Copies of this chain bind each other. A is one copy, B any other.
Amino acid sequence: MGYPMARNLHQAGLLAAVWNRTPAKAARLAQDTGCRAAATPAELAQQCDVVVLCVSADQDMLDLVQMLAPHLAANAIVIDCSTVSAQTAQAAAQTLAARQCAFLDCPVSGGTEGAQQGTLSIMCGGDPAVFERARPVLEAMGRRVLYMGPSGSGQATKAVNQIMVAGINQAVSEALAFAQACGLPLDRVIEATSGGAAASWFLVHRGPNMQRGEFPLGFKVGLHDKDLEIVQRMAAEYNAQLPVVEMTRLHYRRLLAVGQDNEDISSLFRLKQALFAPDRQT
């Protein structure tokens, strides 16, 4: 995700410097765009008014904020596009506030296609005045940039998004496995069902994976599972268990157990096909 998002910042004339945990990745982007490759997060912090983060885990984001914070100018803004919990976002915001810097939690939706084409949805939490200052940066990376509320609200909205994606993956994979068992032509099934009440982005963009039996990334099973674990932690604060999330994590664990971590989440289709296998274990 990070590479195409940074490229779009460059194309908007907003990219000053980059840093990556893997130096070769930063070097490649610096070469492609002519921007500087910072040697450390501290060096990056000294060169930028706004720093955009995109990492995979809550602790990675908190660690990075700790490394940036002492070196940022007053009034600098850190925009985190990772998916982490609302509580983690609030903790990062507190760390930066103690340094007179601002933090926006800005997770994204729309997949690698959206990152490449600059059509991501970006869900933002934080101070509304800071959001307005950061808007040009956000609009360079996404088409739908929405302020959702105070710190953590962007992450809460992303959690909502990930619950929906889980349920829609369940819906489409179960339905198309049924269609296949009935001997229907899946391409025409996708066409027929994508015009009415069953229409979804996932059906049109991931249904063809199921037809071909190939599940290129996309969005990794392991990452969606991690996001749903965040959802469960947030729901636990309300003593709530979410049936769609529970079921999907159960299914994802079965996929991960057979080494399907590097496939798109639409590979859930394989488990649904097994429901119709005459020799399945029941």
CA–CA, A111 and B170, complex, Å: 22
- Residue A247 CB within 8 A of the other chain: yes
Oligomer: number of copies: 2
Q: Which A153-210 residues have a C-beta within 8 angstroms of B? A: 153, 156-157, 159-168, 170-172, 174-176, 178-179, 181-185, 188-189, 191-193, 195-203, 205
Q: A164-B171, A171-B164, A175-B167 are in contact. Are A146 and B239 (CB under 8 A)?
A: no
Residues of chain B within 8 A of A86, CB atoms compared: 182
CA–CA, A149 and B111, complex, Å: 34
Residues of chain B within 8 A of A278, CB atoms compared: 238-239
CA–CA, A123 and B119, complex, Å: 33
**Looking at the complex, which one of B110, B123, B144, B200 makes contact with A164 (CB distance below 8 Å)?**
B200
CA–CA, A243 and B147, complex, Å: 36
Interface of A is mostly: helix
Residues of chain B within 8 A of A202, CB atoms compared: 197, 200
CA–CA, A157 and B198, complex, Å: 12
**A-to-B contact residues, CB < 8 Å:** 86, 108-111, 114, 119-121, 123, 143-144, 146-149, 153, 156-157, 159-168, 170-172, 174-176, 178-179, 181-185, 188-189, 191-193, 195-203, 205, 219, 231, 234-235, 238-245, 247, 275-276, 278, 282
